Structure 1
């Protein structure tokens, strides 16, 4: 798992080289613009909502003793929680809107790396089938991701002294499903939904590594624009190594 994590994380360097070698920077522009618009809207709303959520939680505390310290903890943890939910919504919306570009980009990289053509040529029927499959998997992942995030949030409320560890755990959940989403742009050509789930479980370290680098890029100004296409290329490279 540790080896897979480092391979998933460092493959972003290979993704940059592959993008330059095959002159694929044009495919970065569309998801980059989508990311900027959605990111601005979602994170602006999350920033405004964090204080309201923190105050709502503090109102449940009936004592004066320790209220000041609790307010600080709840405000920090509330901000982390709102940011986590914002990231979930942001990633899945960007993935949904950018999926035609990312699937095509992943296919081009796979063809370059293997020299093989897609097993099933493009058709309207195939596109609709891929869309149905993608929506099924996305819905499954977002429900699970939100469930584990909310569960960890509730644990943080009950045990506020564990807030730092809870924040790390929330980041881990986010990273796993982010990496899974990036990998699926390749897996959709080789596996059905259950096959993709099994592949992700068998390569948890790879999902975590890819997703960790992806989330860290989201927190930077420049990397924010390139996180999704670079994550897709990096995931494609590592998935192809394991599929062929």
Structure 2
């Protein structure tokens, strides 16, 4: 388990040259445009409501913890920023999902030689859109009740001290869930089975989500986070999750390579 964070960091380093390789650059354009729209919306809302939301959230901090108000402000600020991002990213992810799904396919094909049935045609894109919409709805239904529970915990005395930390960890988990889902979905792994697979490696998922979270705060670079995260997540699927989740072709290929 202690090596899981290193796997996540390594996947991001490996994704940078891969995303710029021939055949991959096409898939940068769609998420780039989507992210420009997303960031513009986030900054507009942040300028208008961010400080009000922060004051509202920190208003529930007990007076006896006022000496760490700076830390609570920092944590609440990060949580609110992530929640703002996630709120707007639902629509953007649906818009970019077909391109990200095909990007994950191309990465897996390039690294393993596996060939997928879907092609970048109208029929293939429509099929991917339908599947992506279903998965996005599953993510929303998974996210909302858990987020509401954590939000309620923020109003409970004493418990509200750790609620921001739990919200931050949950946000990192949701970001990992979002970007790793493309490779799992391409390989017909059910949403529940994907969650169980990711849950078995919590440090990997929190590290992955944390890297995405921090990357989203870097101006200009945050515009390219989506395709980079998808490539990194697909590399983690190939190196860690692929054989464990029923890809018998991967097992067969590895056995043939040993002969």
For the superposition of Structure 1 and Structure 2, which TM-score range results when normalised by the shorter chain? 0.7 to 0.9
1:68-87 matches, within 5 Å, as: 76=73, 79-87=77-85
* Counterparts of 2:149 and 2:6, CA distance in 1: 28
Paired residues of 1:130 and 1:188 also in contact (CA < 8 A): no
Change (3 A) 1:240 1:149: same
Change (3 A) 1:85 1:24: same
Match of 2:3 in 1: 3
1:30-69 matches, within 5 Å, as: 30-53=30-53
Change (3 A) 1:51 1:212: closer
Change (3 A) 1:50 1:106: same
Instruction: Give the TM-score normalised by the residue count of structure 1.
Output: 0.79
Q: Given the alignment, which residue of 185, 191, 208 partners 2:182? A: 185
Shift of 1:106: 1.2
More divergent stretch after superposition (105-114 vs 206-215) = 206-215
5+ residue gaps, structure 2 = 243-249, 251-259
Q: Given the alignment, which residue of 160, 164, 167 partners 2:164? A: 167
Match of 1:100 in 2: 98
Question: C-alpha deviations, 1:142-161, integer Å up to 9, x for none?
Answer: 23323333333332332378
Change (3 A) 1:29 1:175: same
Q: Alignment length, in residue pairs?
A: 239
Paired residues of 2:27 and 2:99 also in contact (CA < 8 A): yes
More divergent stretch after superposition (194-203 vs 75-84) = 75-84
Change (3 A) 1:88 1:146: farther
1:66-145 matches, within 5 Å, as: 76=73, 79-119=77-117, 127-145=125-143
RMSD: 3.4
Paired residues of 2:98 and 2:128 also in contact (CA < 8 A): no
* Counterparts of 2:23 and 2:121, CA distance in 1: 26
Shift of 1:54: 5.8
Shift of 1:89: 1.3
* Counterparts of 2:59 and 2:106, CA distance in 1: 54
Instruction: Give the TM-score normalised by the residue count of structure 2.
Output: 0.75
* Counterparts of 1:144 and 1:179, CA distance in 2: 14
Shift of 1:93: 2.5
* Counterparts of 2:86 and 2:108, CA distance in 1: 27
* Counterparts of 2:201 and 2:55, CA distance in 1: 41
Paired residues of 2:54 and 2:80 also in contact (CA < 8 A): no
Shift of 1:118: 0.8
Question: C-alpha deviations, 1:107-166, integer Å up to 9, x for none?
Answer: 111111111211455676654443333223222222332333333333233237854x43
Q: Which SS does the other structure have where 1:220 is aligned?
A: coil
More divergent stretch after superposition (218-227 vs 204-213) = 204-213
5+ residue gaps, structure 1 = none
Q: Which SS does the other structure have where 1:188 is aligned?
A: helix
* Counterparts of 2:120 and 2:34, CA distance in 1: 25
